[in-house]
Amino acid sequence: MVAAALLVLAVGPAAAQAQLTLTASQPDTARLSTLTFSTPAVPGGTTTVRVLLPDGYAANPNRRYPVLYLLHGGAGSSSDWTTAGNAVTATAGKPLIVVMPDGGGAGWYSNWRNAGTQGQPRWEDYHVDELIPWVDGHLRTVASREGRAIAGLSMGGFGAMSYAARHPDLFTAAASFSGAVDTAVQPQALASLAALDGGNASSIWGARKTQEIVWRGHNPTDLAENLRGMQVTLRTGNGRTGGPFGGGGPDDPFEPVVHEMTVNLHERLTAYGLPSIYEDYGPGGHTWAYWNRDLEQTLPAIIRTFDHPRVVPRDVRFVSTAPRYAIRGWTVAIHRKALEFSRLSDATARGFDLAGSGTATVVTPGRYRARSAHAVTIKTEKGAVTRTTRRADAQGRLRIALPLGPVNKGQQDAPGVKTRFWSTSVRIR
């Protein structure tokens, strides 16, 4: 049981999960336990997680297992996949740990903007910065990208793809079942669900009219290129009647919408030349019978990916609205006035390209000999060329400051604002 496992593996918590405290562990069955945590990131300060251990976990104390994070949908909870869903039977006999956290009735797996005041809930901080390190610190996991996958239904499909695209260092596979994976489709209908958690249409990412860039910075379809090198699965019905498990038709307002969203993400992945497992199974409703089948059909591909992890591309590409981000050892800090996208591309030991506005500071991974000197050529889009020498630090990293272009005056996608991106190329010898 999880409770017994925690006694055996009482590893000290990492700094990132210092505010996450286990307050109770209740065994439900031989494999399933409900954990209760205390964290200031969520409303009320407490939240639950259900954990499924693989058969034979206690009998094999030296074996480590990959982890599938399984997310629930809107108006749901951490218990959904083990009560309405078939996670227990679908994973029986399979060599993986399943972690099913709460994400709020309509938390959208995000840190809420709350009209710019931030505050609670901070679901992304909790799941990414607290829960994942806690799980790796207290259970016998394969504590690396190669040992993590994430999947979810409806709102949880959004969460799975958004987390995977915003944190591609964390997951080797991601799956969406009838997922709300393109928030540009009926945006106000999505945001209005925030009322389930005491918010309003502007609470999560702000008003779409004025804060579209915040929405896009979380939207899987806008971030699709970040899924490169990941095993991606998309499954959806079209909301029409005639499916094998019923549902669909005019009484189902959800499946036709998530179908459109899923098609949009699939087409975006295709445009980037990124492969995926894509199943549009036609008639079918927004119900558990289809999501249970989705999970059963998806698990073999996830397990194959755990057994034979995909080779991560040598060059790094990443798009983000964050002013500072880290990806595969690269750290990028953009110095600008307004929120907008930036893009790191073709990043290798020989150099990189960076697009955005303002100026930037880039720190490379530790790929160079400590204290070694390197010739650096910086070429802006306007043709200005700067040649300089940079010396690696004790960890073999280079720190390079570079110009991008004139700072944009307003936030990208805001009414009346015209945004121009500038690209600068850096070559390292």
358/143 Cα distance (integer angstroms): 37
Is 15 in a helix, a strand, or coil?
A: helix
| Angle, alpha carbons 393-346-331 (nearest 5°) | 40
Give the phi and the psi of residue 194 in degrees, each rounded to 5: -60, -20
Peptide bond into 121 cis (omega under 30): yes
Catalytic annotation on 154?
yes
Burial code (b: 16+ CB inside 10 Å, e: under 16) for 243-257 equals: bebebbeeebebbbb
Burial code (b: 16+ CB inside 10 Å, e: under 16) for 33-65 equals: bbbebebebbeeeebbbbbbbbeebeeeeeeeb
Could you tell me if 19 and 67 are in contact, meaning their C-beta atoms sit under 8 angstroms apart? no
Catalytic annotation on 259?
no
Give the phi and the psi of residue 389 in degrees, each rounded to 5: -125, 135
Which of 313, 106, 290, 305 is CA-nearest to residue 203?
A: 106
Which residue among the candidates 25, 110, 154, 162 is catalytic per the annotation?
154
326/318 Cα distance (integer angstroms): 9
- Single-letter amino acid code for the residue at 106: A
Q: What is the DSSP string of 172-197?
A: SEEEEES----TTSSHHHHHHGGGGG
Which of 134, 151, 137 is CA-nearest to residue 292?
A: 151
CB atoms within 10 A of CB 184: 15
Which residue among the candidates 252, 286, 342, 413 is catalytic per the annotation?
286
Is 34 in a helix, a strand, or coil?
A: strand
Catalytic annotation on 353?
no
Q: Which distant-in-sequence residues (6+ apart) come within 8 Å of 182 by Cβ?
A: 219, 220, 221, 260, 261, 262, 264, 265
51/140 Cα distance (integer angstroms): 13
Where in the sequence numbering do the catalytic residues fall? 154, 251, 286
